Amino acid sequence: MKIAVIGTGYVGLVTGTCFAETGNTVTCVDIDVNKINKLNSGKLTIYEPGLEKLFLRNQKEARLHFTTNLKEGITDAQIIFLALPTPPGEDGSADLKYILGVADELGKIISNYVIIIDKSTVPVGTADKVYAAIAKSLPTGQAGATVPFDVVSNPEFLREGVAVDDFMKPDRVVIGTSSDRAKKTLNELYLPFVRQGNPIIYMDEKSAELTKYAANAFLATKITFMNEIANLCEKFGADVDMVRKGIGSDERIGRRFLFPGIGYGGSCFPKDVQALAKSAADVNYEFKILDAVMEINEKQKLNLIPKIKAYFNNELKGKKIALWGLAFKPNTDDIREAPALSIINALLREGAVITAYDPEAMPNVKALLADKIKFTDRQYDTLMDADALVIATEWSEFRTPDFNNMISLLKNKVIFDGRNLFDLTKMEELGFHYESVGRRTIKP
């Protein structure tokens, strides 16, 4: 098939590349000239494991193209994916100006039947709004008759860091449409991805839109619940790792998303939980669980700060703090809503001096914070004469470090671990002062 993907952000780039990998001809469209020039020169604009190999292969095979010209990009396309940003507005609602703006332009230039798909995470009712925007812009006298089109909701369920696997081997494909014509085409499009038997689930457009928000809101709630249990464990002297194993073995609960830490971040959970709560408020429904989730998560990002202040007797001015991890999760360079940023800002307000390391996210933090903190090219260099180490992201390379090297570099054998990476007995044997989340404090 010939496919157009409008928007070359995280979702758009992964979507376009993966569809090209199954033999489709894909053109990705974006208004950012610099980004398109970079992509056309064979350079990715995001970090995502496994994506570069597919990206380069499909460019070489002339199945993956990039342009800033919308009309050129959608020429002869059977399917147009809208993978545009939906940033939160001041009131928490998802801002649809980019999607509706493109919809208006599409109405002026489509000339044959086409399926237009909302791939972005959008509020309930967006498909109707996109349809109306396109229909309104069609040439006078042609609306709906001469140029038929369908608008479909097909939300993405990609996890940053494993997005390629998620796309190529999805747990499920959710498609919201009442059009039999669209169903037939999309069934053919997605068949290569579900050969192992995972379902393509058809539903109405509004249910598909709500499914995406409901999924992310539930996972965010699960994480937040476990963080609350971790905080309670600290009060009782219980071990959250044991509690996690005890409840995770219940198949009704499951083991995933039960790891406590310093809160969730990224481009999806914070924005989607906020948007669903706002959508509920718009129909006069008070979604109390989501309000609590958002409030607790913001507090959880600062979970380590009172522990750090207590250790240093509330005297953090001039203390050198080493920070491992800046991205909101491992295997990505995404720092949106990253707990590390909340920690950095809180420590800076206390007068601490911060030296940070992250395998991928440092350029993004440098662009945001400039010279407010220092950066090192290697993880151990951050530890030189540091008064303490703070761990904010669970990168694999942090899990089994050279502890002897760490001891030789740190001024004090002190670790505040926001991701519970290290074994408590090991920390005790090595003589560290070690504080984590929901577990006992190790004191030398």
> Is 20 in the same domain as 164?
yes
- Which pLDDT score, from 0 to 100, does residue 142 have? 46
Q: Tell whether 171 is covered by a domain.
A: yes
> Is 282 in the same domain as 313?
no
> With 50 as the cut, is the pLDDT of residue 114 above it?
yes
What's the pLDDT tens digit per position in 81-90?
999 999 888 7
> With 70 as the cut, is the pLDDT of residue 148 above it?
yes
Q: Tell whether 441 is covered by a domain.
A: no
Q: What Rg value do the Cα atoms of the chain yield, rounded?
A: 24
> Is 180 in the same domain as 34?
yes
Q: In sequence order, what are the residues at sequence separation of 6 or more whose Cβ sits closer than 8 angstroms to the Cβ of residue 212?
A: 121, 155, 156, 157, 174, 272
- Which pLDDT score, from 0 to 100, does residue 87 have? 86
What's the pLDDT tens digit per position in 8-17?
999 999 999 9
Q: Percent helix, strand, coil in the chain (nearest 5)?
A: 45, 15, 40
Q: Tell whether 443 is covered by a domain.
A: no
Task: Let me know if 361 is exposed, middle or buried by CB neighbors in 10 A (0-12, 13-18, 19+).
Answer: buried
- Which pLDDT score, from 0 to 100, does residue 145 have? 52
Q: Which residue, 284, 299, 314, sits at the end of a domain?
A: 299
**% of the chain surpassing 70 pLDDT:** 98
Task: Let me know if 227 is exposed, middle or buried by CB neighbors in 10 A (0-12, 13-18, 19+).
Answer: buried
What's the pLDDT tens digit per position in 116-126?
999 999 999 99
Q: Which residue, 148, 179, 203, sits at the end of a domain?
A: 203
Residue 233 known to be catalytic: no
Other CB atoms closer than 10 Å to residue 324's CB: what's the count?
28
Instruction: Look over the chain and give the mean of its residue pLDDT values, rounded to a whole number.
Output: 95
> With 80 as the cut, is the pLDDT of residue 143 above it?
no
Instruction: Give the number of domains in the chain.
Output: 3
- Which pLDDT score, from 0 to 100, does residue 138 have? 87
> Residue 73 is part of a domain; what is its CATH number?
3.40.50.720
> Is 420 in the same domain as 317?
yes
C-beta of residue 27 within 8 angstroms of C-beta of residue 73: yes
> With 90 as the cut, is the pLDDT of residue 378 above it?
yes
What's the pLDDT tens digit per position in 264-304?
999 889 999 999 999 999 999 999 999 999 999 999 999 99
> With 50 as the cut, is the pLDDT of residue 217 above it?
yes
Confidence of residue 363 (pLDDT cuts 50, 70, 90): very high
pTM (2 decimals)? 0.91
Q: Whose structure tokens read 């903190």?
A: 373
> Is 198 in the same domain as 295?
no
> Is 293 in the same domain as 308?
no
- Domain of 288? 213-299
Q: Tell whether 10 is covered by a domain.
A: yes
What's the pLDDT tens digit per position in 50-106?
999 999 999 999 999 999 999 999 999 999 999 999 988 878 888 999 999 999 999
